Amino acid sequence: MATAAPTLAPLRPDSRVVLRHHWLVRLTHWLNAIAIIILLMTGLNIFGAHPRLYWGDAGSVDQREQLWLETGASPPWRNPTGWIEIAGTRFDTTGFIGVSQSPKGTTSFVAFPDWATLPSGRDLATARTWHFFFAWVIILNGLAWLLYGLFSGRLWREILPKRRQLTRAHLWTDIVEHAKLNFPKGEAALSYEVLQRLAYAGVTLVLIPTVILTGLTMSPGMDAAWPWLDALWGGRQSARSVHFIAMSGIAGFLLLHLVLVVLSGPIRQIGAMITGRMTIGGDK
Amino acid sequence: MILHRRQLLTAVPAGLMLTGCDALTRNSTAKAVIGAGEQATYRWQRLVGRDGLAREFSAADISPTFKVNGTHEPTNPEWQRLSAGNFADWRLKVTGLVHRELNLTLPQLRALPQRTQITRHDCVEGWSAIGQWAGPQLAPILKAAGLRDGARYIVFLCADDYGGEASKGGLQSASRYYESVDLVDAFHPQTILAHSLNNQPLSTGHGAPLRLRVERQLGYKQAKYLMQIVVADSLAPFGGGKGGYWPDRGYEWYAGT
């Protein structure tokens, strides 16, 4: 919203530099970026210690009634097949899931390949320690962002979709503009359009709180402290499944976010998220 | 970490960044900073849930098969001899910072007030199983021994030599399994010394004749094949000094998460 962005110094009569992102938004954005990437990669390593997902309270290799997702490898062992099985349907994922190449060129029988996990290769102890450290980072960072958003009003002004944006016609227009890769350049670049708002609100207010709460539910100590956690998800194994599904949503957002930043002018966009300043108008 | 020039030349920038991250996981300063997360989690859980009770389930929730994990049968000759004699000669020693050392037989442990609880066992790997455990609470046993000043930890010494962590890509050196808890968990009402699972005496795989149940922590804290309980002021003299077989190998000592 243009009124929320104070004019700093006019470069040309028809262009001006505006403060696009508050320092707290920039700081929490980059801390979040680091935390999410490390949480994703250590999480894939942790998943590899037991690459199966179940619904309900309990599940193990000896209790597979509520198993719904599993990864693995099948013979011949000279030329093994890697697979993921979801709700009874098996997909061949040789080279990525179940069977992959280690950096040394040997065949690795891990759920996710070495390049996708931190540390690369099986190391549950280290992956867990890092995962829980950055879990603290994402929780405290997210709380700071949320409190700032609530008290500054930015949450309503910038993140939550406006009622007038939620009409079918408006949504369709924004979908068409995105599909044509027409990104706002002038005054319109000072405010997010509806798809962008839905994506940001979905990640920050739905998916990230979901991974945090399901993550806490996997902790036996937290389940004893806050019994409602376990009740909320219908059991620890359900929470582990929802944790994985919400993680997939965040990974999908991250990919889309990076693609759109690149397509819409990476120097300008990343620059604005680092310095906070963005040039509006002129021949841009 | 040493990188050869050819590896450097062929590595993509992302690969280099990840190699850097990998090296960082082995850096001692980074380890200390990252390790602060465990302390934060421990303090946080003690703050919000010091007296919280683990959920207890109904008989209908009991897992049809309770997975056996860790040692399946101790090879130690002393345990083999005790097992052959149906544990008639087995004694649980309680020593360390106590006023009275104890030497308890299985019938003595069964004669104490018993607690039966159907709880969920959460393995560090990610799976869970539900079982019904029975045995005396640890608290009255510790009170009978009488803790002396300075007591901070309760250490559990086991009969099994456990060696090997497949998840680290190779065998670790075998050594005696042990675990430890703080006094909050030791005196927690659900902390019991279980001699039975699902109304049966503990099988060999599940830790016969006696195992610890500390229900608000992960599976590796539930030490099997108990031989001795030591009340201690420090964890340094035991094993690798980190308070347990797995903590000595990089896992959290406080396994509430």
Q: What is the per-residue pLDDT for B8?
A: 38
> Which of A112-121, A267-276, B13-22, B174-183 shows the lowest per-residue confidence on average (mean pLDDT)?
B13-22
Higher pLDDT, A135 or B1: A135
Interchain contact, A220 vs B218, CB within 8 Å? yes
What is the percent of chain A where pLDDT is above 90? 84
Question: A218 touching B, CB under 8 A?
Answer: yes
A2-48+115-281 belongs to which CATH class?
mainly alpha
Chain B residues within an 8 Å CB radius of A129: 34-35, 37-38, 250, 252
Task: With beta carbons less than 8 A apart as the criterion, state whether B233 and B209 touch.
Answer: no
**Rounded mean pLDDT of chain A?**
93
Interchain contact, B38 vs A132, CB within 8 Å? yes
Residue range(s) occupied by CATH 1.20.950.20 in chain A:
2-48+115-281
Q: What is the ipTM of this complex?
A: 0.91
| DSSP annotation string for chain B | ----HHHHHH--HHHHHHHHHHHHTT-HHHHHHHHHHHHHHHHHHHHHHTT-------GGGS-SS----S-SS---HHHHHHHHTTTSS--EEEEESBSS-EEE-HHHHHHSPEEEEEEEEE-TTS-EEEEEEEEEBHHHHHHHH-BPTT--EEEEEEEEEE--BGGGTBPPPPEEEEEEEEHHHHTSTT-EEE-EETTEEPPTTTTTT-EEE-TTS-GGGS--SEEEEEEES-STTSTTSSSSTTGGGTS-SS---
Question: A123 touching B, CB under 8 A?
Answer: yes
CATH classification code of B54-249:
3.90.420.10
Mean pLDDT for B75-83 is 93
Residues in a beta bridge with A85:
A70, A90
Interchain contact, A46 vs B250, CB within 8 Å? no
Task: With beta carbons less than 8 A apart as the criterion, state whether B183 and B148 touch.
Answer: no
Mean pLDDT for A230-247 is 98
- Per domain, the residue ranges of chain B are 1-50, 54-249
Residue A69 in this model has a pLDDT that exceeds 90 = yes
Interchain contact, A220 vs B256, CB within 8 Å? yes
The C-alpha of B204 sits at a distance from chain A's nearest C-alpha, in angstroms, of 17
Size of interface A-B (CB pairs under 8 A): 153
Question: B34 touching A, CB under 8 A?
Answer: yes
Mean pLDDT for A219-231 is 98
> Which of A33-42, A241-250, B126-135, B161-170 shows the lowest per-residue confidence on average (mean pLDDT)?
B161-170
At A133, the pLDDT band (50, 70, 90 cuts) reads very high
Chain B residues within an 8 Å CB radius of A230: 55
pTM of the model: 0.91
Residue A144 in this model has a pLDDT that exceeds 90 = yes
Query: What's the token pair of residue A45?
Result: 């390593």
Interchain contact, A57 vs B128, CB within 8 Å? yes
Interchain contact, B18 vs A60, CB within 8 Å? no
Interchain contact, A58 vs B246, CB within 8 Å? no
Interchain contact, B45 vs A63, CB within 8 Å? no
Dihedrals phi, psi of B248, to nearest 5 degrees:
-65, -20
Q: What is the per-residue pLDDT for A255?
A: 97
Chain A residues within an 8 Å CB radius of B51: none
Interchain contact, A49 vs B125, CB within 8 Å? yes
Choose from B18, B43, B172 for mutation: most chain A CBs within 10 A: B18
Dihedrals phi, psi of A73, to nearest 5 degrees:
-135, 150
Query: H/E element holding A30?
Result: helix A23-47
At A12, the pLDDT band (50, 70, 90 cuts) reads low
Q: What is the per-residue pLDDT for B90?
A: 98
Task: Closest CB to B37: pick one of A62, A133, A224.
Answer: A133
Q: What is the per-residue pLDDT for B169?
A: 39
Chain B residues within an 8 Å CB radius of A38: 21
